[in-house]
Each structure stands twice: as structure tokens, then as C-alpha cells.
Structure 1
Amino acid sequence: MVETPNKSSSSNTNTEKSTLHPAFTVTNVHLKIRTLDGEKTPYSNWVKLFGNHLKIYKILHHIDGTKPPSKEDPTYDAWEEIDALILQWIIVLAATLEQQFTNSALSAFSSFDEYCQKLKDIATQLGDIDQPVSESRLVIQMVRGLPVEYDTIGNPT
């Protein structure tokens, strides 16, 4: 009599299911984490909001000072992938702020003061996420966003 292998015992050699970490379900970080804008979402509120999202997606330990597992730890590769994902989120948010900064123009504001304040606010926000804007770059952007009416014409005579 030939015994046939028990299908249930042979298929149960690897019963662990591969599950997708919640952080990898975020397809558009802008839909989950509002871009820091300084008006609708002040910096302190944005930090809380970002922290809450990290808690929800079970990844707060990546930014709260918790030490990563050692490279020998079997969970290290997964930890490193999630860490890279969080860095990517921050880069996407920084790129959005950078785009707002470089595309700001006086024509979009009701006053020169409001325009300058917005540029300064965005520059501060970029600095808060380790993307500092130098004073000279701030001035250059301010001038670059002025309409042609502000151009000066030099007359050599």
C-alpha cells in the first residue's frame, strides 16, 4: 500500500502569511498628511498631525528617538524599508513646499507685505524640515516673483 502525503501537513510547512505593513497602503501622502502651509495648518499642528499619522500607520518609532534594530536582527530589513518610505514622504512634502516657494508671485497676493510674508513663512517651514532657505535666496525669489512693472530700465545716457 502506497501512502499519499497528507496535503494539509505538507502545505503547512510555512503557515506564516506575508502581510502588508499599513504604511505601505498610503498611495498618496498628500491625501493623508496635509502639506505644511502655515495658515490652514500651523507648524505645531502639522507636527501633531504628522505624528498622529505615524501612530496610525504604526511607524512613530521611526522618528521618536527609538533606536532601530541591529543589522543582525531579522526585522532590520523591514524596518529599513519603512524608514525609507517615511523619508520619501518627508521629501514629497518638502518638494511641495519648495514648489510653492519657487512659484510664488506677487500677482497672487493682495499686497506686497502679504507676498513677502508668505515667502518668509514657506522659507521657515522649509527650514523646519531641514531644507533651509538662505537670506539671499529668499530675496532673489522675492524679486523674481515681481511683475514686469517692477523691472528697472537703465539708461546709459
Structure 2
Amino acid sequence: MALDRAACRKLALDLLARREHSRLELQRKLGKRAFSRELIDETLDELEQSGALSERRFAESFVSARAAKGQGPVRIRSDLARRGVDVKHLDELLHDDEFDWCAIAREARAKRFGGGAPTGYAERVRQARFLQYRGFDMSQIDAALDIGDNSD
């Protein structure tokens, strides 16, 4: 039993050394190694108490990485929810001043379609669908698509 406890803790720490994980991700990965549910929960509780496992730190890291890849807050929120992160703290994190979602949407659009504003309705719709898939809301999409229209 002590060997199982040590092995479970070592594997969890090895996983956390590579990157931050949510509790649910670690539960799934440790569960695949045939550790008991009780042992996994005890180990993860200990890691949370020691600070080695932190949902907040995982969420911050995840949001920063996904924003850097040009993904929007809607998609990021959905991906974090699938990873078991409590959504009540996400609003604060996603509305942090560090992230200018309109600028991120403009950059994602420009990287995919070039710097100029879309010409024609069909092109505008196509680019809007792309940004929506990337996880931006309509106000952010409108800001990204109207990049050249504010020159009056």
C-alpha cells in the first residue's frame, strides 16, 4: 500500500512537472494506471494542500496559452469546463485586463485572411464563422471585421 501511495504521488508530480494539470485530468491519467479512486483522491488532496496542484494556476496557464494561439474566451471557457475547472472563477480570469479579446480576434483574422477588411457579404460571413469557431463573441467578431471601416 505504501508503495502504491508513493508511486501514485510520484506519477502525479511527474505529470505536474511537465505542465500544469487540472484535478480531473490527473484523476483520469492516474486512473488509467489502476490506482484506486480513494488513493488518487487522497494523493490529489495532499498535492492541493501543498500547492503542487492548483486549479487557478492551471486555468491561468491554459488561458494564456490559448489566447496566444488566437482562441477566444467562449472556446477557452468550454475547453476548461471539459477539463473540470470550476467556471465560477473563469469570468474573473477571462475578463482580466491582460487580454484584449478584440485585438486577439483581429490578429487571428489577419493571420488567416490578411490585413485588409473583408470585401463583400459572403467573405464577411466566412471570416465571422472562422472567428466564431475560434471562440470569439459577436462584439469581438464585429471589432475584428470592422478593422478598416473606421477610417471616415
Q: TM-score, normalised by structure 2?
A: 0.37
Q: TM-score, normalised by structure 1?
A: 0.37
Greater fraction helix: 2
Instruction: State the structure with more CA Rg.
Output: 1
